[in-house]
Amino acid sequence: MVLMTALTFYGTFDVAATTEIASAKTTKVYKSNLSKANQKAKSWIAYHESRGSYHARNGRYVGKYQLSSSYLHGDYSKNNQEKAADHYVKARYGSWVNAKKHWKAYGWY
């Protein structure tokens, strides 16, 4: 009986571990395809907005790029912050290089 319980526990544990590994592999990581100049400008803005911290907060502004919490729709994950920041900058400025120029002129983007 003890052997059967041990085998059952081990089998259940093994299935749970396999499921966890499989779900980790299917989670897509957001990757932007920015030029080196845009990547450099993006990093510059992140440093000046939050010192690069995904956990930074300033009132309703959240994360590495200090986006409005409503813009992030409650998802403060690294993936969503990166994706939302790229989307925001492309829609508003066309590029991170342009966003950096705006930031330097006005102190925000």
Phi/psi at 19 (5° precision)? -65, -45
Closest of 94, 102, 104, 80 to residue 38, by C-alpha: 94
- pTM of the prediction? 0.74
Task: Work out the pLDDT band at 11, boundaries 50, 70, 90.
Answer: very low
pLDDT in tens, 76-86: 999 999 999 99
pLDDT of residue 26: 55
Chain mean pLDDT for the chain: 84
pLDDT in tens, 88-101: 999 999 999 999 99
- Flag whether pLDDT at 24 surpasses 50: no
What's the half-sphere exposure (Cβ side, CA atoms, 13 Å) at 64? Answer: 18
